[in-house]
Structure 1
Amino acid sequence: MIKDKSIFIKNIYYMLSYAFQILKQSNYEEVASEKFENAQDLFAAILSKGIAQQLKQGLYREYITKNETLSVMRGKLDMPETIRNRIQRKQKLACEFDELSENNLLNQILKTTIHYLLIDDGVDIERKVALKKLLVFFDGIEQMEPSEIPWSRIHYQRNSKNYELLINICYFVLDGMLQTTEKGEYKMVAVSDEHMSRLYEKFILEYYHQHHTYLTEVKAGQVKWDLVGDIAESMIRFLPIMQTDIMLRLKEKILIIDAKYYGQTLQKQFDKYTLHSGNVYQIFTYVKNQDKDNTGNVAGILLYAKTDEDITPDCMFNMGGNQIGAKTLDLNKDFSLIAAQLDKIAEDYFGKNI
């Protein structure tokens, strides 16, 4: 998909730095100045810095329920097991108690990710040395099978908030890059489009939030259906939720951006290349329902990440009084040019003298 991988990989770092502000802290400065040939090498660099920083503060601990046979009472008594001990003439008490432990899901994910980065050829030897030094501190922590990690169960508390970036990096590696071979082993591949799509959306949203502070509102908002007449709430729930990726507002003007990260931008039919019809219908629906008074003050853009296709969409149309179109963001360029493209999109719609 991308011709110059080294530049593209560096742009993943910039995108992550917008999605996770912690990357802009001083301990990640060395990562920002390096060049990377592979995504896994970038992720290894971020993890080695982030985990080292976390170790200075101490690994996250949480209460884990344990069952042990002890000489003295601790926690709650497990009566059935204690009776079995007495029958076997063991003068021990079966106890159930909670104990603060580092052997929890968050640290298990970190250890598992380190393991797979260490055996991958795409990680630089210096990065592997740094990760091996960190692995010593995970001696009492269990390693997991990547396919069995319950990602949906992960939640962060006040004392584990620093783990959010680290676990998201692990998610990119273990869920987005690691694939099972025919022999049942694992190998690292390119980051999946699904995972990059989510990062792409969040990056664009945060870019406008940080650099276009003149805007009245920057959010990923929902568009309400412009329904006529009294309709029961029980019926409305059958309509799909219209969730925008990025919604920019300046006073009465609104620009809805739908971020699209695909392997192919265009569809081909009868030797003719066109935008994906579903994408066009989607952005058109968002715009027309948002502009229920037909003011023309709402516009919509499909913002595609550039692929290696020769044709790249860059067009705007007046559809029923609203500006709707498609543009392409080239992630294979220097980041300053990417930023300029995003700035121009806002300036073209809201005005250059803002």
Structure 2
Amino acid sequence: MSLNSFYNCTLVTFRPNYLDGRVASVTIPIRNLFYLLSYVWDVDWEMEWSAINADKSGDALNLLTKILTISTDRIIRRGLDRGYKDVSEEMFGVRGRIDMANTIKRNGFANARLTCNFEELDYSVLHNQIIKTTLVNLSHANGLDKGLREEVLDLTHRLKAIEPIELSQNVFSKVRFHSNIRNYRLPVAVSKLIYDQLMPSRETGKYQFVNFTEEKLHAIFEKFVFKYYEKHLNQTIYIGIKSDTVSWQDTYFEEGIDDFLPVMKTDVSLFNNESKLVVECKFYESALQSRRINGKELRETFISNHLYQLFAYLKNLEIKNNKVISGLILYPENGKKISSVYSMHGHKVSIKTINLDSSPQEINDAMLACLTPFRSMAIN
């Protein structure tokens, strides 16, 4: 596969939002996908984009592989991290602590070979192993550009001292970053995303990169919104950001088999001393729904369930917090710009779309503009 311009490459996700079952799509240019991911991964998108080379790259597989090869090469040049590894070995003489049980079991005292337990600096620490294993898997991936495959194989050879491992969700969760390995954040994050999308192929020993699912893109969109507002908090009226866990206020379980009320959790909650804004992120192909009755299409409306969900958050937070509570629902824009503001039972509610097919600067400006209706919110 030849590498095409980022600007011409898109990711497509499908969702039957319409009640009559029609299906449409949301497209995100690869360049903008990387812009979203740069916030999720907490990296300088402009610097990384320049390193990737804006004029060359292709689909998601080749984009992610390119990011991984560049960030891994940097780490190797700066010096791979090492950690102490427990080693048990038979030897002449003593090193570390003598393992008496195994020495006796192996008749070590008779032949002067003692079993010793000691620690040894080793490159096969977890974060190195994740990167090495991901590169090995990528070398067998269908659809990888020939030049990139050669880079992957070269890096695999340069990491020959590192033992590969079997990857799993649990393995990634065990990585603990600290100041000495902060440069590993990007390659490990990319490795995790590649692991999620790389599936065994019908060909023995081969892998197939699958398209991002709606759930994956939704998660990326939601994390982007959180990280974006967190990073640019000083450009807003808010002083803090979190994800609120909201309990049902003035609600008591009286009788029945058990209490099955769901826990409510906001995607993003921006707050200051006087107000709170609940932001809900919905990665749907449209912010609108419509229905057909006897073959006739009725007027489009906003998606009811999304408004009901947000309203439940607002009313319960209103009781819990002595603040002005407002709401914002964000959708990706798909050919139809939406920008509506309402006053609902004393709560200001805005429904907006963000055009993920526009330039990163335009996305940046639109994200800040979404907060404009709430600048004057204060307790009366």
TM-score, normalising length from structure 2? Answer: 0.75
Does residue 1:343 correspond to 2:365, yes or no?
no
Cα distance between partner residues in 2 of 1:293 and 1:90:
75
Cα distance between partner residues in 2 of 1:340 and 1:10:
17
Give 1:207's match in structure 2, choosing from 228, 232, 240. 228
Q: Residue by residue, what CA displacement relative to the aligned partner does 1:327-351 show, whole Å, maximum 9, x if unpaired?
A: 3323223223322322221113326
Q: Is the 8 A contact 1:4 1:332 kept in 2?
A: no
Q: Is the 8 A contact 1:208 1:218 kept in 2?
A: no
Identity %: 26
Residue 31 of structure 2 aligns to which amino acid in structure 1?
K
Structure 1 pair 311/33, CA: closer, same or farther in 2 (3 Å)? closer
Match of 1:178 in 2: 198
Match of 2:330 in 1: 303
Match of 2:315 in 1: 288
Cα distance between partner residues in 1 of 2:86 and 2:70:
31
Cα drift, residue 139 of structure 1: 0.4
Match of 2:269 in 1: 247
Cα drift, residue 120 of structure 1: 3.0
Cα distance between partner residues in 2 of 1:291 and 1:210:
27
SS of the aligned residue for 1:83 comes to helix
Structure 1 pair 276/93, CA: closer, same or farther in 2 (3 Å)? farther
Cα distance between partner residues in 1 of 2:74 and 2:153:
15
Q: Is the 8 A contact 1:253 1:350 kept in 2?
A: no
Structure 1 pair 28/92, CA: closer, same or farther in 2 (3 Å)? farther
Cα distance between partner residues in 1 of 2:93 and 2:245:
62
Cα distance between partner residues in 2 of 1:157 and 1:71:
38
SS of the aligned residue for 1:64 comes to strand
- Bigger helix share: 1
Cα drift, residue 43 of structure 1: 1.2
Structure 1 pair 96/172, CA: closer, same or farther in 2 (3 Å)? same
Structure 1 pair 198/99, CA: closer, same or farther in 2 (3 Å)? farther
SS of the aligned residue for 2:199 comes to strand
Match of 2:239 in 1: 217
Cα drift, residue 117 of structure 1: 2.7
Cα distance between partner residues in 1 of 2:287 and 2:143:
28
Cα drift, residue 110 of structure 1: 0.4
Structure 1 pair 88/334, CA: closer, same or farther in 2 (3 Å)? same
Give 1:323's match in structure 2, choosing from 341, 348, 353. 348
Match of 1:92 in 2: 113
Q: Residue by residue, what CA displacement relative to the aligned partner does 1:50-72 show, whole Å, maximum 9, x if unpaired?
A: 11111122112112112211112
Does residue 1:189 correspond to 2:189, yes or no?
no
Cα distance between partner residues in 1 of 2:108 and 2:135:
46
Cα drift, residue 240 of structure 1: 5.5
Residue 319 of structure 2 aligns to which amino acid in structure 1?
K
Does residue 1:5 correspond to 2:13, yes or no?
no
Match of 1:48 in 2: 69
TM-score, normalising length from structure 1? Answer: 0.80
Cα drift, residue 85 of structure 1: 1.9
Q: Is the 8 A contact 1:265 1:304 kept in 2?
A: yes
Match of 1:118 in 2: 139
Structure 1 pair 296/57, CA: closer, same or farther in 2 (3 Å)? closer
**Unaligned segments of structure 1, at least 5 residues:** 232-236
For structure 1, which segment, 98-107 or 256-265, has the greater mean C-alpha deviation from structure 2 after superposition? 256-265
Does residue 1:260 correspond to 2:282, yes or no?
yes
Aligned length: 342
Q: Residue by residue, what CA displacement relative to the aligned partner does 1:226-278 show, whole Å, maximum 9, x if unpaired?
A: 744999xxxxx997554322223355233211122357866777767766655
Q: Is the 8 A contact 1:16 1:23 kept in 2?
A: no
Does residue 1:102 correspond to 2:123, yes or no?
yes
SS of the aligned residue for 1:67 comes to strand
